[in-house]
Structure 1
């Protein structure tokens, strides 16, 4: 494994498990220090231990949309590890399933707040505290549900489409010293996505040209690439990581 991130610090939201933790593991394996967030400190403590302990990682519990929490996390990153070079906006929620026409608008507002506005706010915080003077890279975790209609999870998909647009706008605003990209996964085998494949994984995977669902490490590798200097001439892009399912019209 290379040491592409030696001397760099990454902040990752929603990273006590699943995709977020897999991204953190990949970054640490390549030399980064990481500050991870989630709602529960106990889960974060377990994740920090998995990442190699406080020499490599810090876990700070809080609500991702809470401005004070965001400020605390960014401050901890700079004070503890000396920088805040990389940001991964991974937190996402999808608390409802059903048509848009009957969706509770308070729930809709919450989804947009967490999936979109929080990601923008995290980017603002890191920009002010570090990246405006030192540069950096941001990756937003979107979804293939943002690419085309996703019946049953339409507001989730719409929120991720907004996040994609934020990615493009920020890439234009923040260049040349800050790059902003996104990944758009299909179904990845995490607790968050269990309802999409539980008890019928083979059936769900059959539509994928690669004949399997994703695993968190698939996304970790893609995000690490976009954050690294290997992607130095890439900004404002959305990398679809989907096992080929969007090619088939079935995903």
Structure 2
């Protein structure tokens, strides 16, 4: 019988000792990302607009299977569109955890639906301000506060709507296309010490996306090769991978998490 010798190997997906900031994390995809990062050992700051919902989300994270130590979860309420709120979230993360090695720009809005020729331009401006400009604002602050000197990983939440036209959520899609280009540009400018990637989900079962499958989940899911809609956890696992050393030679990439939808030539 052969002897089996146990060996200790590095765990490149382990995030112990790192601090992360996840925006828009009171529910849905952002909340799942925060939970996944916690499960891999990171300390996590979560942000969102509504203090009560954010506090409840923080309690859920602490009570969850990866929570445990209350000292690894920090909630900082604030609107991502506010420069002062962004500054507070970054400053308090570094002050509390002593670092900021992971930034996840998850916040996104979509108050415009239908033909762009009829779109309210104020709504379009708001979409770009929150989905693109605010994301860049967080990157700038994280760079100045920690990453510029120490390095890190940034993951932006884009969308398949940024890769292919939808006909109905055009302003949102255009903003996510801009975020994808921003990801590539930042990856070039901030390497080699800071990696910048994006993920592009299709329809994920969240409150934010309810209108996209309101006519019937099974009917919408039938168009996907995987025959189901995405879950927040599907996205969270890929984000955590991109934030980890396991993705150490990946930067400037946008990973589709779409159940095969774009492979069919369609967009659900």
When normalised by structure 2's length, the TM-score is: 0.92
Identify which of 43, 57, 70 aligns with 1:54.
70
Partner residue, 2:156: 140
Structure 1 unmatched ranges of 5 or more: none
Alignment length (residue pairs):
251
Which residues in structure 2 correspond to 1:151-170 (within 5 Å)?
Answer: 151-170=167-186
Which residues in structure 2 correspond to 1:67-78 (within 5 Å)?
Answer: 67-78=83-94
Deviations 1:59-105 (A, max 9, x none): 11111021111111111111111111100000000012111111111
Structure 2 unmatched ranges of 5 or more: 1-10, 63-68
User: 2:12–2:244: 8 Å Cα contact kept in structure 1?
Assistant: no
Partner residue, 2:227: 211
Which residues in structure 2 correspond to 1:180-195 (within 5 Å)?
Answer: 180-195=196-211
Within the alignment, does 1:225 sit opposite 2:241 as a pair?
yes
Partner residue, 2:189: 173
Within the alignment, does 1:34 sit opposite 2:41 as a pair?
no
User: 1:22–1:216: 8 Å Cα contact kept in structure 2?
Assistant: yes
Identify which of 5, 9, 13 aligns with 2:23.
13
Deviation of the 1:2 alpha carbon: 8.3
Within the alignment, does 1:94 sit opposite 2:110 as a pair?
yes
Q: Distance in 2 between matches of 1:69 and 1:208?
A: 39
User: 2:22–2:47: 8 Å Cα contact kept in structure 1?
Assistant: yes
Deviation of the 1:54 alpha carbon: 3.3
Q: Distance in 1 between matches of 2:130 and 2:87?
A: 16
RMSD between aligned residues: 1.2
Call closer, same or farther: CA 1:33–1:111 in 2, change over 3 Å: same
Identify which of 177, 189, 212 aligns with 1:196.
212
Following superposition, which runs of at least 4 residues in structure 1 exceed 3 angstroms of deviation?
none
Deviations 1:181-211 (A, max 9, x none): 0000000000000011125000000011110
Call closer, same or farther: CA 1:136–1:2 in 2, change over 3 Å: closer
Query: Could you tell which deviates more after superposition, 179-188 or 193-202?
Result: 193-202
When normalised by structure 1's length, the TM-score is: 0.98
Q: Distance in 2 between matches of 1:106 and 1:40?
A: 23
Deviations 1:32-63 (A, max 9, x none): 00001000111111111111163221111111
User: 1:2–1:30: 8 Å Cα contact kept in structure 2?
Assistant: no
